[in-house]
């Protein structure tokens, strides 16, 4: 008996057997349930995710004599004929081999005739984007006004190449790439039914190598069974794929999380004994860092990961900032591997670069130079900031400073107007302010009235406001705030330059301080 590959032997025959395309299956079964079948369906997606398989199942369900929960029964004559490839009313075409307009016309000439066996005559055109422009025009004429007994099922990996006129006449379903966990579960189920011994870690490696394609995963599984002489073991799969074991990758990541350079170099030295692909190793590290970042920002993402415990552990150990830094360095380091004297030294430099540019806490740096202690950055606050936290509803006394009164105002044009004025006189009935000539455009009747009303509410006094455009003798609240900010910035810059840790980095690492990067805390 001829051997049948796993991808064909375990191809789904009904909707319940399809893996990972729930959004498409729900739409199709509802259409069958309510008898709302469209004239044309377009299935798109990458290779091996089930486009043609779903199209065949839908063709079978359209003609099945005994639907079971809107699933093809698999037992009637029509279902068996479809499964065995002898159903006359299912016309399958590979558009890649029949691109000419004459082929398309010959194909559609019989569309006008009634079905031979089933309810509908179904045209399944695979890789439909390969048709020529004239072929699409010929197909479009039938798509526009198809006979009631004709249905079109189209499949493609490149929907961008299909004319918009054709797309607009189809219901389009985009099949998603499968998660490694979904491929892992399905392969475990198949091996259990086939009574083939396997190791879970071996299946994890294959499911990641499948890159979202169930067919690719099952093809690799077939190869692994032959390579492993009837069993699927981790060491055999690693050798077959030319990849390294996952455990060293985890060990390197743990050493990186602990900033343990000797441990990282020791692991790399051990790996070099088996001549690994260091580019593949770096890609695996990047995949782990990507999943760690996802878990840190969206914890529920961990349910889709095969290395749940390890990813969760690293997500707690490594800070989100470090994860992003390591990922960026690793991503750029992939280019450096080709330029390095040899792949191992290139990989070592990438890992050491991660440690070198990793943000170091002050206490760690102090430990490396015990005679030096970090100098605290002095805190300088502007005068108006000290009263900014005061509740607005509290009645302000006349004895309060002009800066205090302005700080209690709600943000807006009125507060901006007031902050650029200097106080001349304030008592129970009058308030006189001076406004610099460069801000004269802020002064008008409306702004004057709004400021007077706000002062009356804040001071709870029926005072009258007068504003003159004159040279200022004292600083305005806005000027005082800017001056305070400048003082804080200058204090922060001086503190950084005087910090012994910064001096240590300048001396030993030839570091430079960028003044524009300094911000007061």
CB 53 within 8 A of CB 165: no
What pLDDT was estimated at residue 232?
A: 92
Strand order in the sheet with 121-126: 90-94, 121-126, 150-156, 40-44, 171-174
What pLDDT was estimated at residue 112?
A: 82
CB 198 within 8 A of CB 191: yes
Residues of the chain with pLDDT under 70: 1, 99, 242-247, 301-307, 360-399
DSSP labels, 489-507: HHHHHHHHHH-HHHHHHHH
What pLDDT was estimated at residue 303?
A: 53
- Rounded to whole angstroms, the Cα distance separating 64 from 78 reads 6
Mean pLDDT rounded to a whole number for the chain = 83
Q: pLDDT tens-digit profile of 200-250?
A: 888 888 988 888 899 999 999 999 999 999 999 988 888 887 655 555 788
CB 512 within 8 A of CB 372: no
CB 29 within 8 A of CB 173: no
- Rounded to whole angstroms, the Cα distance separating 469 from 441 reads 10
What pLDDT was estimated at residue 52?
A: 92
- Rounded to whole angstroms, the Cα distance separating 312 from 315 reads 5
What pLDDT was estimated at residue 399?
A: 60
Delineate the domains of the chain, giving CATH numbers in brackets: 6-174 (3.40.50.300), 180-241 (1.10.8.60), 246-359 (1.20.272.10), 388-478 (3.30.300.150)
CB 178 within 8 A of CB 53: no
Angle between helices 180-194 and 200-209 (to 10 degrees): 130
The tally of CA atoms less than 13 A away on the side-chain side of residue 337 is 19
Tokens linked to 355: 């440690």
CB 489 within 8 A of CB 520: yes
What DSSP state is assigned to residue 94? E
CB 413 within 8 A of CB 447: yes
- Rounded to whole angstroms, the Cα distance separating 488 from 312 reads 41
CB 83 within 8 A of CB 13: yes
Q: The whole model's pTM is what? A: 0.57
Query: Nearest Cα to 46, choosing from 121, 204, 135, 155?
Result: 155
């Amino acid at each position: 008996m001829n051997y049948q590959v796993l991808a064909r032997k375990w191809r789904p025959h009904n909707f319940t057997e399809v893996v990972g395309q729930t959004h498409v299956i729900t739409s199709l079964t509802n259409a069958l349930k309510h008898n709302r079948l469209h004239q044309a369906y377009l299935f798109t997606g990458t290779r091996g995710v089930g486009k043609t398989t779903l199209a065949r199942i839908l063709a079978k369900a359209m003609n099945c004599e005994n639907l079971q929960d809107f699933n093809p029964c698999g037992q009637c004559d029509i279902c068996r004929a479809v499964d065995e490839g002898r159903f006359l009313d299912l016309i399958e075409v590979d558009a890649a081999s029949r691109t000419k307009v004459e082929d398309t016309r010959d194909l559609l000439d019989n569309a006008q005739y009634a079905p031979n066996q089933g309810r509908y005559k179904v045209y399944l055109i695979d890789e439909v984007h390969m048709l020529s422009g004239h072929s699409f025009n010929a197909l479009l004429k039938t798509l526009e006004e198809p006979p009631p007994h004709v249905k079109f099922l189209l499949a493609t990996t490149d929907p961008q190449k299909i004319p918009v006129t054709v797309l607009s006449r189809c219901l389009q379903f985009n099949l998603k790439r499968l998660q490694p966990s979904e491929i892992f579960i399905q392969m475990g189920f198949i091996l259990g039914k086939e009574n083939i011994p396997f190791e879970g870690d071996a299946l994890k490696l294959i499911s990641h190598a499948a890159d979202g394609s169930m067919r690719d995963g099952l093809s690799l599984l077939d190869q692994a069974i032959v390579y492993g002489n009837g069993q699927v073991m981790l060491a055999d799969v690693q050798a077959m794929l030319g990849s390294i074991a996952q455990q060293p990758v985890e060990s390197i990541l743990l050493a990186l999380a602990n900033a343990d350079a000797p441990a990282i170099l020791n692991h790399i030295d051990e790996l070099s004994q088996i001549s690994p692909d260091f580019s593949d190793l770096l890609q695996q590290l990047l995949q782990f860092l990507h999943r760690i970042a996802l878990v840190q920002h969206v914890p529920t993402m961990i349910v889709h990961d095969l290395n749940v415990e390890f990813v969760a552990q690293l997500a707690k150990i490594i800070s989100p900032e470090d994860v992003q830094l390591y990922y960026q360095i690793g991503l750029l380091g992939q280019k450096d591997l080709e330029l390095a004297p040899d792949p191992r030294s290139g990989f070592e430099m990438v890992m050491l670069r991660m440690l070198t540019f990793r943000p170091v806490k002050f206490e760690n740096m102090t430990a490396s130079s015990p005679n030096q202690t970090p100098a605290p950055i002095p805190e300088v606050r502007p005068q108006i900031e000290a009263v900014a936290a005061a509740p607005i509803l509290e009645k302000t006394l006349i004895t309060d400073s002009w800066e205090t009164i302005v700080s209690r105002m709600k943000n807006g044009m009125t507060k901006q107007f007031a902050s650029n004025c200097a106080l001349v006189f304030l008592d129970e009935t009058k308030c006189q302010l001076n406004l610099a000539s460069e801000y004269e455009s802020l002064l008008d009747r409306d702004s004057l009235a709004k400021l007077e009303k706000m002062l009356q509410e804040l001071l709870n006094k029926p005072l009258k406001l007068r504003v003159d455009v004159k040279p200022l003798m004292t600083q305005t609240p806005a000027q005082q705030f800017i001056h305070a900010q400048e003082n804080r910035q200058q204090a922060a810059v001086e503190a950084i330059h005087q910090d012994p840790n910064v001096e240590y980095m300048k001396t030993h690492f030839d570091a430079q301080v960028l003044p524009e990067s300094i911000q007061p805390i």
